[in-house]
Structure 1
Amino acid sequence: MNGSVPPSEPWAARRAAFRALHTSGCFVIPNPWEPGTARYLLHLGFRALATTSSGFSFGRALPDTDGAVPRDMALAHIAEIVAATDLPVNADFESGYASDAEGVAESVRLCCATGVAGLSIEDATGERERPLYDLGEALDRLRAARDAVDRDGGGVLLTARSECFLVGHPDPLPESVRRLQAYAEAGADVLYAPGLRSADEIRAVVEAVAPRPVNLLMSQNTGLTVADVAALGIRRISVGSSLARAAWTGFIRAAHAIAEEGSFRGFDGTVPFAELNGFFRRDLAGRQSARPDAPS
């Protein structure tokens, strides 16, 4: 795949390609946070991308907390990432930007209209006193999302997320398994429990929801490789905010060195300007030549 898809081309090819990626093997779906990073990930040969709510939020000087980014802003960002390449994009769609099932359905309808190939819905409430929706309520919300995806008719892949590990549930693995099995029954295409760390935890989830594909979040270097988690049965690996945080880490360290030491040592080992500028010059030329109205 090269360049951007013309606006007139339907999303069906991307969505079919995304669905096919989940039928066998294991693939990494990295998370860009603006068009430049999306273009570079395309250049590296990744076959699909995913948005990152936190990576986007931090760049807008906002926390990644419920309500900080309004739905319209999130949808505009998702559409921007979709338009940046011709790769399938999965939307990190948080809790559906609504507390009730009807609102989730409306949000999902709008998300499908951006051209995404997939989207995920969380079961976290964003409330300190009640961090997770009760299972019955979570299922109502997921079924509403399922209905909205089906009404769209475009084949968008629906991922259901159980947030037990991330909200500090006292018994996260059994509760994650219980919820993910229920979400599979309710029509989720892919299951996802962010926060799994050990091979035993990963294997337990994969076996519990088989044959549904499982997404694994790799947010730190646990020592496991792509080959390792593929052998455990994982079909899809995402990295969440990790690439954005890696970029922030370099920025923060270099800025601290200037502010606190008067030193520029933080610039050691950075990618040369000519390398980045050259990449984007070539990338732009390739996109322009791929346009249908480009001179022959």
Structure 2
Amino acid sequence: MSPAERAVRFAALHEGGCFALPNAWDAGSARILAHAGAVAIATTSAGIAWQLGRRDYAVSLAESLENARVLIAATTLPVSADLEDGFGPAPEDCAATIRAAADAGLAGCTIEDTTRNPAAPIHDFDHAVARIRAAVQAARGLGRPFVLTARAENFLNGRPDLDDTVRRLVAFAEAGADCLYAPALPDMEAIRKVVAAVAPKPVNVLIAPRSGPVPLATLAEAGVRRVSAGGLLARAAYAHTLDLARAMLAGDLARLNAGPAGTEVSAAMRGQGD
């Protein structure tokens, strides 16, 4: 399936209802998610870094796009990439990143308003909007659909300012972003406020509000169109491995034998290209 065909499929998923967008970190996890029934997958910056043996945010644009190519080759699903802050502070950097993402075959990506500067972690409002506007212009020049998701990162960076978050998301929507995303919103009321503010543009939510988990149906009823997992699936896989490794090293070999059979995992790996 061509990149354009995958992009058309991905864009169509945002037109109605609510779908789950799980995040893969390598070819095997991509095939597992496809086998489980995912309709599209995303990358995860944390998962990419961990599978390279690094901390989060220690990955280059080239490495992120190479990871995306691996996921694209592993399945026939549309793939959207977590491209962090656009890999550069200037609007021109974000535009160049969009063009590179499209060249890699991606159906979409996310761009954050973060700076990677702990002293001032969020770009000033006007500059943040200019960055998204430049990314939108680059996406519109591709000649095919490309779902650009603009992220407002206040709540992940010690700035629990819902009004500013909504203001940013509204401005990103007006600048042409296709989907809006504010990770770690505090509760369902905040999620509903975001959805109402940017309507009819689709909203992505990271699993659930910080107040606690809710069913996918609850998010759908609130008007959310897309629910992603971020690095949570990768974290669970690595945490479970760590737990079993500690048990093994402590002499508890029964813990390993009690795990599931590898039959279904092997079946999942018989995917595209085999």
TM-score band, normalised by the shorter chain? Answer: over 0.9
CA distance in 1, matches of 2:264, 2:140: 45
The answer to whether the 8 Å contact 2:31/2:268 transfers is no
Partner residue, 1:188: 177
CA distance in 1, matches of 2:112, 2:56: 14
The answer to whether structure 1 residue 212 and structure 2 residue 204 are counterparts is no
Among residues 180, 184, 188, which one is paired with 1:199 in the alignment?
A: 188
CA distance in 1, matches of 2:134, 2:267: 46
The answer to whether the 8 Å contact 2:35/2:268 transfers is no
The verdict on how the C-alpha distance between 1:167 and 1:287 changes in structure 2, with shifts beyond 3 A counting, is same
Match of 1:152, SS state, is coil
The answer to whether structure 1 residue 46 and structure 2 residue 35 are counterparts is no
CA distance in 2, matches of 1:279, 1:101: 41
Q: How does 1:11-160 map to 2 (within 5 A)?
A: 11-65=3-57, 68-160=58-150
Shift of 1:273: 2.9
RMSD after superposition: 1.7
The answer to whether the 8 Å contact 1:121/1:160 transfers is yes
CA distance in 1, matches of 2:248, 2:22: 31
Partner residue, 2:265: 276
The answer to whether the 8 Å contact 1:75/1:114 transfers is yes
Among residues 229, 236, 253, which one is paired with 2:219 in the alignment?
A: 229
Identity of matched residues, %: 40
Match of 1:28, SS state, is strand
* TM-score normalised by structure 2 residue count: 0.94
Code of the residue aligned with 1:17 in structure 2: it is R
Among residues 172, 194, 197, which one is paired with 2:161 in the alignment?
A: 172
The answer to whether the 8 Å contact 1:250/1:266 transfers is no
Counting matched residue pairs gives 273
Match of 1:23, SS state, is coil
CA distance in 2, matches of 1:137, 1:244: 32
Shift of 1:33: 0.7
* TM-score normalised by structure 1 residue count: 0.87
Gaps of 5+ in 2: none
The answer to whether the 8 Å contact 1:89/1:116 transfers is yes
- Please list every run of at least 4 consecutive aligned residues from structure 1 whose deviation after the TM superposition is greater than 4 angstroms: none
Shift of 1:64: 0.9
Among residues 140, 146, 151, which one is paired with 1:161 in the alignment?
A: 151
The answer to whether the 8 Å contact 1:253/1:266 transfers is no
Match of 1:121, SS state, is strand
CA distance in 1, matches of 2:155, 2:124: 16
Shift of 1:268: 5.4
Gaps of 5+ in 1: 289-296
The verdict on how the C-alpha distance between 1:245 and 1:265 changes in structure 2, with shifts beyond 3 A counting, is farther
Match of 2:155, SS state, is coil
What is the CA deviation profile of residues 154-185 of structure 1, one whole-angstrom value per residue up to 9, with x for unaligned ones?
Answer: 2101100000100010x421111011001011
CA distance in 2, matches of 1:269, 1:200: 42
Structure of greater Rg: 1
Shift of 1:287: 4.2
Shift of 1:255: 1.6
What is the CA deviation profile of residues 91-117 of structure 1, one whole-angstrom value per residue up to 9, with x for unaligned ones?
Answer: 111111111111221121111111111
